[in-house]
């Protein structure tokens, strides 16, 4: 395949899914391809940080122009892999390489809770779809896949600091106020400032957690953009997060990371990537996990995050920060 080939990479959402595309776009660019990403308008800022990407187009604003061949590409790499994206890509009359979703295996995992049905990590599934473009196979260690952040003017806490990601797309990925307060109390012995990260939905909780005099916390929830949130994560000495886009950004930046799992589970294929030494995983004690791919919890079931062993979070922080007082 000629290396001056232009490739349209389709991944519409969301933050974490786009972050996980980084090693794919990085290798495509390294091998000489011209890469354009098509995503939902709300996530263009994230897609613009992907390494090796020359242009980012909006699903809402630009797809009509692509279909009408005002904007043309030689090949299409569909990393959304839904029936919607497949139908749309099929109308472009270009060679299409599609990311296949293991619907049956995922359903069996959610039904039985048996880890024997664990899914292949999503980055590897992306790479399988992009395999025809990769000379010698997928080699993520050989490329620079770190997100490329624009210059950000944001006052960060005094270094070193710990970033706590309060948000999550659904309740099954989020801890409540009392759980975060317990974690913050446990982190106090490290005498490190805390950066509270989240969206507008977490602004009230962040303000309440910041309030106690001497808490050492600074609330960024609802006052920062996603890219500014990435900057906070990029510079943190430790990140503690549920299964969120910021968790995936922390892994991309190779930051020490404690990931928290409730309604979702690493076996669904969305564990932090890449895996490295300074990562710890804390999983709920609930036998109900995993409940869903996205963290939705049916109203008749208890939220598995309520059974997260919070003491394990503090112990994990101690092991990463090499605290001498940790048992």
Specify if 156 maps to a domain: no
Specify if 168 maps to a domain: yes
Cβ neighbours of residue 30 closer than 8 Å, sequence gap 6 or more: 52, 142, 143
Tell me the per-residue pLDDT of 243-252, one tens digit each, with 9 for 90 and over.
999 999 999 9
Structural domain that includes position 223? 162-321
Same domain, 168 and 305: yes
Between 67 and 290, the more confident residue is 290
Same domain, 137 and 185: no
Specify if 326 maps to a domain: no
Sheet holding 53-58, edge to edge: 53-58, 34-39, 6-10, 75-78, 96-98
The token pair at 104 is 């049956």
Please say whether the beta carbons of 162 and 40 come within 8 A. no
Same domain, 81 and 196: no
Same domain, 85 and 226: no
Same domain, 135 and 183: no
Please say whether the beta carbons of 241 and 264 come within 8 A. no
Specify if 301 maps to a domain: yes
Same domain, 309 and 181: yes
Tell me the per-residue pLDDT of 24-46, one tens digit each, with 9 for 90 and over.
999 999 999 999 999 999 999 99
pLDDT of residue 3: 61
Same domain, 57 and 173: no
CA distance 82 to 153: 38
Would the pLDDT of 1 be above 70? no
CA 180 to chain centre: 20
Same domain, 216 and 314: yes
Alpha helix segments (H runs only) across 68-202: 83-90, 103-112, 122-130, 177-187
Residue (of 320, 281, 308) closest to 187 by Cα position: 320
Specify if 174 maps to a domain: yes
Please say whether the beta carbons of 195 and 161 come within 8 A. yes
Same domain, 95 and 209: no
3-state secondary structure of 311: helix
- Which helix (H) or strand (E) segment holds residue 27: the answer is helix 22-30
Residue 128 sits in a domain of what CATH number? 3.40.50.2000
Considering the entire predicted model, what is its pTM? 0.95
Specify if 147 maps to a domain: no
What is the DSSP code (8-state) at residue 157? Answer: P
CB-based burial label for 47 (10 Å; 0-12, 13-18, 19+): buried
User: For strand 257-261 and strand 238-241, is the pairing parallel, antiparallel, or unpaired?
Assistant: parallel
Specify if 300 maps to a domain: yes
Same domain, 196 and 107: no
Would the pLDDT of 325 be above 50? no
Mean predicted confidence (pLDDT) in 93-116: 95
Same domain, 198 and 283: yes
Mean predicted confidence (pLDDT) in 78-92: 94
Same domain, 169 and 104: no
Share of the chain above pLDDT 70, in %: 96
Half-sphere exposure of 245 (CA within 13 A, CB side): 23
Count of structural domains, the chain:
2
Tell me the Cα Rg of the chain. 20
């Amino acid at each position: 395949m000629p290396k001056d080939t232009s490739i349209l990479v389709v991944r519409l959402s969301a933050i974490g899914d786009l972050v996980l595309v980084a090693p794919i776009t990085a290798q495509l660019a390294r091998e000489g391809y011209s890469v354009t990403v098509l995503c939902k308008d709300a996530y263009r800022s994230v897609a613009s940080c992907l390494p090796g990407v020359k242009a980012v187009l909006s699903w809402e604003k630009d797809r009509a122009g692509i279909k009408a061949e005002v904007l043309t590409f030689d090949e299409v790499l569909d990393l959304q892999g839904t029936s919607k994206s497949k139908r749309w890509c099929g109308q472009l009359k270009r060679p299409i390489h599609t990311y296949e979703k293991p619907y049956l295996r995922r359903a069996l995992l959610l039904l039985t809770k048996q880890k024997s049905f664990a899914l292949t990590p999503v980055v590897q599934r992306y790479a399988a779809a992009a395999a025809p473009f990769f000379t010698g196979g997928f080699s993520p260690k050989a490329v620079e896949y770190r997100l490329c952040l624009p210059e950000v003017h944001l006052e960060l806490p005094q270094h070193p600091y710990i970033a706590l990601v309060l948000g999550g797309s659904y309740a099954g990925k989020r801890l409540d106020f009392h759980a975060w307060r317990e974690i913050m109390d446990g982190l106090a012995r490290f005498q490190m400032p805390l950066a509270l990260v989240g969206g507008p939905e977490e602004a009230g909780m962040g303000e309440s957690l910041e309030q106690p005099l001497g808490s050492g916390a600074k609330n960024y929830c609802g006052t920062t953009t996603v890219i500014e949130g990435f900057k906070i994560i990029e510079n943190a000495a430790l990140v503690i997060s549920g299964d969120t886009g910021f968790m995936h950004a922390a892994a991309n930046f190779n930051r020490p990371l404690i990931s928290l799992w409730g309604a979702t589970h690493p076996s669904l294929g969305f564990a932090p990537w890449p895996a490295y030494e300074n990562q710890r995983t804390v999983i709920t004690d609930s036998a109900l996990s995993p409940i869903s791919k996205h963290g939705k919890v049916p109203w008749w079931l208890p939220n598995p995050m309520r059974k997260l062993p919070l003491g394990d979070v503090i112990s994990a922080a101690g092991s990463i920060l090499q605290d001498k007082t940790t048992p």
